[in-house]
Amino acid sequence: MHWWFAGRRVILDHLLKSLRLPPESRILEVGCGTGGNIAVLRKFGSVTAVELDSFARDHVRAAMKIEVAPGSLPDDLPYADRKFDVICLFDVLEHVDREQEALSILRERLAPNGLVIITVPAYQWLYSSHDVQHHHYRRYTARQLRAVAEAAGFRTTRVGYYNTLLFPLALIRRLAEKLLDLHPVDDSALPGSLLNRFLYRIFSLEACLIGSWLFPAGLSVVGVFHVGEETRRASVHSELPHSSADLVRSIKPIGGTHHA
C-alpha cells in the first residue's frame, strides 16, 4: 500500500476517535474510491458511500458489503431523504468546480449537530502537474477552507494542517524541480519498499497529535465543521502517548493493498 494512503488512514482514525462521535453514528463518505477508508469509518458507526466510478462502486459493494450509490457534487448527490451524523470528503473537494454549492448540498444531508470532515491538498503555489493529472481545480490554505465552509452555512470546529513532518522535503524537491527544470516526480507511484515504509512511519507520527492540535503548515489541510446551535470544542480530546514507546506502538506496520 502507498505510504500516503496508509498514513492518512492512521491519522483519520485518531482524528475520529478524538471527536467522540455518538455510538452508531450514521456516516456518509462522498467519493469513497475503492473503499480504502471504509474499514476505519465503520469503527464509528454505519457507513454509506457515494462514488461516481462504476468499477470502484462494484468493488466496494463486494469487498465491504455496504450501500454505495452513484453520484457527484454538487448536482447529483443521492440520499436526499436521509440525514447523516458525519459526512466525510477525503481529498474530494479539490475535484469539485462549484465548491460552496457542493458544501451547501452536504449541509442539507446532515442531522442536527452533524459534522462534516474535509481533507484537501494545501497551498496553490504547490499546484503542479500532479494536480493537473488528478483533475484538481485548486489547492487550499486553512483560511480558505474555513471561509468556503462558513459561506456554505457551517460553523468551524477546527481547521489546520497535517502532513507537516515531510513538508520541508517536499519544498526542497519542488524548488529543485523549478530551478533546475527537472521533470516532476509522480507522487502517486509506489516507492521502493524501504522508502515506502520510511515515509509511512514519518507521516504516521502525526497521528498521536492530531486529536489535540493541528500544525500551522503542512502539505494537507483538514477541517471539521458542524451545523446547529450546539457549540463543539475547537480543540478536541486526544489520548496522547505517555512515552516514546507508546508512540512507536501506535504506528502499525504498513500492509494491505493500494486503495484510494
- The domains of the chain are located at 3-228+238-250
With a cut of 50, say whether residue 234 has pLDDT above it.
Answer: no
The three cell numbers of residue 12 are 483519520
Which carries the bigger pLDDT value, residue 52 or residue 185?
Answer: 52
Q: What is the mean pLDDT of residues 104-110?
A: 97
Q: What is the mean pLDDT of residues 6-32?
A: 95
Which of 15-29, 116-130, 211-225, 229-243 is predicted least confidently? Answer: 229-243
Say how many residues make up the chain.
260
Band of pLDDT at residue 186, cut at 50, 70 and 90:
low
Give pTM, 2 decimals: 0.85
Q: What is the mean pLDDT of residues 160-172?
A: 92
- Mean pLDDT (the chain) is 86
Rounded distance between C-alpha atoms, residue 47 and residue 31, angstroms = 13
pLDDT in tens, 42-67: 999 999 999 999 999 999 999 999 99
What pLDDT, on a 0 to 100 scale, did the predictor assign at position 184? 62
Please, which residues bridge with residue 194 across strands?
Answer: none
Q: What is the mean pLDDT of residues 101-107?
A: 98
The arrangement of secondary structure in 3-228+238-250, i.e. its CATH architecture, is: 3-Layer(aba) Sandwich (3.40)
With a cut of 90, say whether residue 34 has pLDDT above it.
Answer: yes
What pLDDT, on a 0 to 100 scale, did the predictor assign at position 243? 35
With a cut of 90, say whether residue 106 has pLDDT above it.
Answer: yes
Please report, for residues 123, 160, 161, 247, the alpha-carbon distance to residue 216 in angstroms, rounded to integers and kept in the order given: 12, 6, 6, 22
With a cut of 50, say whether residue 258 has pLDDT above it.
Answer: no
Closest of 172, 163, 114 to residue 142, by C-alpha: 163
Rounded distance between C-alpha atoms, residue 203 and residue 61, angstroms = 30
**Using an 8 Å Cβ cutoff, are 171 and 227 in contact?**
no
Rounded distance between C-alpha atoms, residue 210 and residue 214, angstroms = 6
C-alpha Rg value of the chain to the nearest Å: 18
Which of 58-62, 107-111, 166-170 is predicted least confidently? Answer: 166-170
What pLDDT, on a 0 to 100 scale, did the predictor assign at position 235? 36
What pLDDT, on a 0 to 100 scale, did the predictor assign at position 249? 43
With a cut of 60, say whether residue 244 has pLDDT above it.
Answer: no
Which carries the bigger pLDDT value, residue 260 or residue 48?
Answer: 48
The three cell numbers of residue 178 are 523549478
